[in-house]
Amino acid sequence: MAVGAVLWGLAACGAGPAPTGGSDAAAAAQAVVTLTPGDGATDVPARGGVQVTVRDGRLTQVTLRSDDGSAVLGTLAADGASWRPDGKLAPETRYTLDAVATDARGAQAAKHAVFTTFVPTHTFVGFYTPEDGSTVGVGMEVSLRFSRAVDAAERAAVERAVQVTAVPAVPVVGHWFGGGRLDFRPEHFWSPGTKVTLRLALRGVEGAPGVYGTQDRTVHFTVARSQISTADATADRMTVVRDGRTLRTLPISAGMPGHDTYAGIMVITEQDRVTRMNSRTVGLGSEYDIPAVPHAMRLTDSGTFVHGVFWRPASVFGSQNTSHGCIGLHDVRGGTSTTTPAGWFFAHSIPGDVVVVTRSAGGPVAPDNGLNGWNMPWSAWVAGSALR
C-alpha cells in the first residue's frame, strides 16, 4: 500500500490535530511514532536510511518531501506499523518527513523531522559533443562520454536525466555503446536551421553503486547547413554538395590495397590546420611519422581523416590510392592555403558535415568509431536505448 497524502495542519513541533474529546484525549494517545532518521540528522544514505514505525497504533499518513516539493512515494506495511520509501533519495538534499498514527481509541499522534542526505564521495560527469554555442553540420550527433562507466541497471535513470530536443521538433533517441558512452540522434540527418538543446540533469543521479552525477547544465547548438561530400574510392573523386547544389568535385587519393578506406557515412568531428600523424598511434608500427600534416579533418576515433598531402606529386590525386586509409587531397606545407584542394575543402567544412565513402574495398565503418551512428538502422538504434 502506497502512502503519499499531504499532512495538513501540523505544527512545527509535531503536535497533531486533536480528535473528538479535546486536547486531553490527544495527550492520552497511546500510539508512539518513531522517525528514522531523527530531526536534524545529516549524512543520511540514499538507501535504507529512512523508516517510520509506530507502537500501540497504526500509521494513517506519512509524507516525505524534498525541499523542491517533490514527494517520495513509500509503502505501508500490511499491519500499519511501519513505512519505508520505495526509491532512492537524492544526495545533498534536504527532506521533510511527517507521520500521523492513530491508536485503538482514535486518538492521534504525530511526528515531524527535517534531515539532509549525504555528500557523495564518488562522482561522474558526461563529456559532451558538440560544445555549447556551436554551429554544426546536419550529421552532428550528440555524444556523451562518461568519466565512470554507467552500470546496466542504472542506464535508464541516467538516460532519463538527459534530454535532447529540437526546434523544429523531431524525435531524438539515445543509444548506449556500452556503459561509457550515450549518443543521441534523430532518424535522419538534422534539417538545416534546426536549434538543438541538450539538457543534462545528472546531479544526484546514481550511475553505479555509490557513484553520482554532478552536472546540471543546458547546452545549445545550431545546425547550419547540409553539406554531404561523396568520396568514390574507385574513381578517386569526391563531390561536395551543399544544400542540394554541387560546389566542387575534388581529386582524391584514398586507402591503398590492404589499407582501404572505411566505407559508409562518416562525420567530421574536429579540424586542425596542422597536426602530427604517427602510425604507431593507430597500430601500424613505424610506417610513417609526419610532423605537420595540413588541413586535417577527423572522421573516426581510430584515425581516419580527410587531410592535405604535400609529400606526393599532384598527379597521384585522382589516379592512385596511396594512403593508409585516409582520404588525401593535394596540398602545400603550412596549412594556410585556401586555394589547394585540401585548403579549399577545409575552409568550406565545419564539424558535423558528412563524408560518404563509396566503392571502397574497406569494411563498413563501425557506428561507434567516431560520430558515425548513421550507419546503424533506425530500429537497431532505438533498440539500444535503455528507455525502450
Supply the residues annotated as catalytic.
Answer: 307, 326
CB-based contact 189:374 (threshold 8 Å): yes
Q: In the chain, how long is the greatest CA-to-CA distance?
A: 104
Distance CA 190, CA 187 (A): 9
Q: Compute the distance between CA of residue 144 and CA of residue 176 in angstroms, rounded to an integer.
A: 10
Q: Residue 11: CB partners within 8 Å, gap ≥ 6?
A: none
Dump the DSSP string for 167-222: ES----EEEESSSSEEEEE-SSPPPTT-EEEEEEE-TT-EEETTEEE--EEEEEEE
**Nearest-10 Cα torsion for 97, 98, 103, 108:** 160
Contact 308, 294 (CB under 8 A): yes
Residue 128 CA to residue 173 CA, distance in Å, equals: 16
Cell digits for 291?
A: 610532423
Whole-number Å distance between alpha carbons of 153 and 157: 8
Q: Which residue, chain included where needed, has cell 523542491? A: 68
